[in-house]
C-alpha cells in the first residue's frame, strides 16, 4: 500500500530565509507526486507536480521540488520565503488509478 | 468560470439527522472525489467517481453514500449523522486519472 510521510508538522522560518519541506513516500509501483498549498479557510491549490521526465520540478510562487527515486523523497524548496507563503502544505502521491494519498500536512509559518 | 463549487459552506446537524452535500464542477471533468480533512490527518478519500453514473469507495467510506447522476455534479450523503463525522469536507475534480485535482473551498460540518 502507498503511504506519504511529511517529516515536519510545523516549520517556522523568518522572511527571506530559504525553506525545505520534507516528504517521503512508499510505493512498489511507479508514482505521480504532487504538492498542494492550503491557505486558511480555502481549498487546496496545486503548487507543482511530477508525472515523468526531469526530476527537478518548478511550480508556482517560486517553489520547486526534486524527485529522488532512490530515497523515495519529494522535498519542496523555496530559496526566499515571503509572509504570504504562510499556509499548510500537503504532499500527495497517486498510482495508475489516480487516487491521491495525502501526507499529514506541514504548517509553514513565515515571521517578519 | 467557477471551477468547483460546494454547497453549503457551513452546517450544524444533530446526531441522527441526514443531509446531502453538493459539489458542482464546470470544467467537464470526468473524475470527481470527496475527501474529509481532520487535524493532523491530511485529507482522506471517502468516495470517488470516474464518470457519470459511476461511484467507488475510497479509504473511509463507512457512513457515507454518493451519487453521480450528472457529469457535473457529485453528491455526498450522510444518512444518519454521527459526531465522528464532524469534519471539513472537500470535493475535487480532474480531467483524467493522475491529472492535478481542482478543489472546492470546503464544507465545514459539525455534528452535535
CA distances from B56 to B37, B49, B61 (A): 19, 6, 9
Query: Are residues B75 and B39 in contact, defined by beta-carbon separation less than 8 angstroms?
Result: no
Q: How far is A42 from chain B (nearest CA, A)?
A: 5
B34, B23 contact by CB (below 8 A): yes
- How confident is residue B1, by pLDDT bands cut at 50, 70 and 90? low
- A99 contacts B45? CB cut-off 8 A: yes
pLDDT tens-place string over residues B58-105: 999 999 999 999 999 999 999 999 999 999 999 999 998 888 899 999
Q: Which residues of B touch A50 (CB under 8 A)?
A: none
Q: Which residue has the cell 503548487?
A: A47
CA A36 to chain centre: 6
- Residue contact B42–A94, C-beta within 8 A: no
Note the Cα A18 to chain centre separation in Å.
Answer: 15
User: Do B43 and B58 contact (CB within 8 A), yes or no?
Assistant: no
Strand partners, B111: B13
For residue range A57-100, list pLDDT tens digits in order. Answer: 999 999 999 999 889 999 999 999 999 999 999 999 987 677 88
H or E stretch including B87? strand B87-94
Taking the Cβ of residue A83 and every Cβ of chain B, the question of whether any pair is shorter than 8 Å is answered with no
Q: Are A67 and A75 in contact (CB under 8 A)?
A: no
Check CB contact under 8 Å for B43 and A44.
yes
Tell whether A94 is within 8 A of chain B (Cβ): yes
Minimal Cα–Cα distance from A41 to chain B, Å? 7
Q: What is the mean pLDDT of residues B26-54?
A: 94
Amino acid at each position: 500500500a502507498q503511504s506519504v510521510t511529511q517529516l515536519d508538522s510545523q516549520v517556522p522560518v523568518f522572511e527571506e530565509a530559504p525553506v525545505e519541506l520534507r516528504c517521503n513516500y512508499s510505493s512498489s509501483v511507479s508514482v505521480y507526486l504532487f504538492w498542494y498549498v492550503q491557505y486558511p479557510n480555502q481549498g487546496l491549490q496545486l503548487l507543482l507536480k511530477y508525472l515523468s521526465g526531469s526530476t527537478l520540478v518548478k511550480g508556482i510562487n517560486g517553489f520547486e521540488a526534486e524527485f529522488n527515486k532512490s530515497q523515495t523523497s519529494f522535498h519542496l524548496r523555496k530559496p526566499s520565503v515571503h509572509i504570504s507563503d504562510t499556509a499548510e502544505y500537503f504532499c500527495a502521491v497517486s498510482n495508475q488509478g489516480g487516487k491521491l494519498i495525502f501526507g499529514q500536512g506541514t504548517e509553514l509559518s513565515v515571521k517578519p | 468560470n467557477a471551477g468547483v463549487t460546494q454547497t453549503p459552506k457551513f452546517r450544524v446537524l444533530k446526531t441522527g439527522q441526514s443531509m446531502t452535500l453538493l459539489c458542482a464542477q464546470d470544467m467537464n471533468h470526468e473524475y470527481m472525489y470527496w475527501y474529509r480533512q481532520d487535524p493532523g490527518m491530511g485529507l482522506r478519500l471517502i468516495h470517488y467517481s470516474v464518470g457519470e453514473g459511476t461511484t467507488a469507495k475510497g479509504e473511509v467510506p463507512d457512513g457515507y453514500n454518493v451519487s453521480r447522476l450528472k457529469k457535473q455534479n457529485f453528491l455526498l450523503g450522510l444518512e444518519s449523522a454521527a459526531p465522528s463525522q464532524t469534519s471539513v469536507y472537500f470535493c475535487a475534480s480532474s480531467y483524467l486519472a493522475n491529472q492535478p485535482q481542482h478543489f472546492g473551498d470546503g464544507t465545514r460540518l459539525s455534528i452535535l
